[in-house]
Amino acid sequence: MTAQAKWVTPERQEHLVKLWVQYGNKCLLGHSACPIREHYTHLEPRLIHVPKPTLQACRDKDGNPIHDSHGNQQYITVYPLVGTIEQVKTECRLYELQSEKLIKDWIADDKAQRQAEYQAEYKARHSNYERRFPLHGRFSAISQEIFYDNQPEYYLENLGISGLTFKPFARLRIASSPMRLHVDLGDSFKGMSKCKKRKAVRYGKIPKDLEDRINDVCWKAVKHYLSL
């Protein structure tokens, strides 16, 4: 069974059907069942990189120019890649041209949406502050709402090693709740030395890359728990 593309939704498929009704079986000039082959030729500019021969002066490890026995500067030919625009010729119908442009826009929109959601999740995961009381006086209705809106979804209490599986786990507390979760961290510590693992578990000295991996695993576990 072929996997479906991520951009596919019922609404978008319906839009493609309407697009076919409007442009289907037409050449690029809009002629229905056009017999002229040239009317299906489409030129699309694309950026390609090609090697460009370039002379470069030879220098020693100290940056001094290297000369031959006659005192002439020595050169070597190098081939750096240079970007250039090339017109790529393809044959297609008007529907294919319009639908491909539309699909590219959908893919770009979905990517922007995923990035926005990731940034929101990242911000929530890394908001590690928690204040139980207002700075002055008691919570008002407005300040209480602001407080609960700004607090993270969970708090990382500590790390440990399971006595059953001998694998690292994290103990989390769900925000505004006494509920604790024990999250299996799996291979999050993979590639680290025993010394660094011990420091991370016992003393909380967590490298930035490990912290990101732990946050990702914990965030997924919390989202799964909250969706139950």
Domain extent, residue 56, equals 43-89
Residue 133, pLDDT score = 47
Query: Mutual orientation of helices 10-23 and 94-125 as an angle, nearest 10°?
Result: 160
CA count, 13 A, side-chain hemisphere, 121: 15
Report how far residue 32's alpha carbon sits from residue 94's, in angstroms, rounded to the nearest whole number: 10
- Please, which pLDDT band fits residue 136 given cuts at 50, 70 and 90? very low
Report how far residue 220's alpha carbon sits from residue 121's, in angstroms, rounded to the nearest whole number: 10
Judge whether 165 lies within some domain.
yes
Report how far residue 73's alpha carbon sits from residue 92's, in angstroms, rounded to the nearest whole number: 54
Position 55 pLDDT exceeds 50: yes
For residue range 190-209, what is the model confidence (pLDDT) as tens digits?
777 777 777 777 777 777 77
Position 39 pLDDT exceeds 90: yes
Same domain, 188 and 223: yes
Model-level pTM?
0.45
Same domain, 168 and 196: yes
For the chain, what percent of residues have pLDDT higher than 90? 22
Judge whether 36 lies within some domain.
no
Judge whether 112 lies within some domain.
yes
Q: What total of structural domains would you count in the chain? A: 3
Judge whether 208 lies within some domain.
yes
User: What average pLDDT does the chain have?
Assistant: 80
